[in-house]
Amino acid sequence: MQKIDSSRFAWVGESAHDREAIGRPSLTFWQDAVRRLVKNRVALFCLILILILTLMSIFAPMLSAFDYREQHYGHTNAPMGTICDNPDCAGYGHKHLFGTDTLGRDIYTRIWMGGRVSLTIAVVSALIDLVLGCIYGGISGYFGGTLDIIMMRILEIINGIPYLIIVILHMMIMKPGMITIIIAYSLVGWIPMARLVRGQVVALKQQEYIAAAEAMGASAWRIIARHLLPNTLSVVIVRVTLAIPAAIFSEAYLSYLGLGIPLPMCSWGSLAQAGIENFRIYPYQLMLPAICISLTMLAFNMFGDGLRDAFDPKLRR
């Protein structure tokens, strides 16, 4: 092999600046999760869809020329796009974009008013499940032992009671409405959250920083609130996004069974229940609330999948 002459090489020295340079920008866990979530186009599209449905539910009934409770028996089951020709109507001269129902009420206004009710029930129920589940699961997982066994057996007993029976009993005791549905769903809806948090806490309490906090004299409540629960936050957020469509579906089938929102208030479930009666003649009265329910549940489920992928440390690059 031919020897290469050393004169062909030159010593360039060592650059302290290059030695200390960072190969890539330093990102926190949350910054990296947001970066990967933004790159997920499906999850981003679902988030935009959720925001659109939420904004329409908030502002559309306020901006509509029709009242969702206003009835006009001479203008019933009008097709989509019909102009209101009733001088006594508050929206005289305006179009019924989604037509009217069997009582002459504007479906467009009722659809978005129903969305406001359904989303409110779902979000409030999910937040209650979050609070109860985190507290219950955190206490059970951290203290363990006999207390953990007793608390888990209580969960199994509550979970063994059918949800529909709980709702029917509440309807007999309390006045039907949003509060009753939220309370009935929250009585059993927090159980999966509690089990999830308990499992995460059991795994995290063996870490060194928990032992260090205990050695420094931190109380059990401080360790749970400041160290354990924040480290389960990524998993909990994903669970909340998946609990919202479950609550929407529960409200929908309760309203479909006649156990939901009382008239004249409406929800997507009650609108679907009213539309099924005229489905063969006026199919749009059922299809419109069904499409809203389907889009909302699909958007929340796919956005939750995107959050799960974004918070998964195994996918971090």
Each residue of 71-91: b (16+ CB within 10 Å) or e?
A: ebeebebbeeeeebeeeebeb
Q: Are 112 and 97 in contact (CB under 8 A)?
A: no
Look up tokens 């539309």; give the residue.
Answer: 275
SS3 (DSSP) at 68: coil
Domain 39-64+106-315 has CATH 1.10.3720.10: yes
Q: In terms of C-beta density within 10 A (0-12 exposed, 13-18 middle, 19 or more buried), how is residue 219 classed?
A: exposed
Predicted model pTM: 0.79
Beta-carbon contacts of 304 under 8 Å, excluding residues fewer than 6 positions away, are: 238, 241, 242
Q: What would the two tokens of residue 267 be?
A: 């929800």
Per-position pLDDT tens, the chain of length 317? 677 777 777 766 666 555 555 556 666 767 777 888 888 889 899 999 999 999 999 998 888 888 888 887 777 888 888 887 777 776 677 787 888 888 888 888 899 998 898 899 888 988 898 889 888 988 888 888 888 899 989 888 888 877 777 777 777 777 777 888 888 888 888 888 888 888 888 888 888 888 888 888 888 888 888 788 777 877 888 888 888 888 888 887 777 777 777 777 888 888 888 888 888 888 888 899 889 988 998 998 888 888 877 876 555 55
Spans of all domains in the chain: 39-64+106-315
pLDDT for the residue 12: 63
pLDDT for the residue 253: 77
SS3 (DSSP) at 82: strand
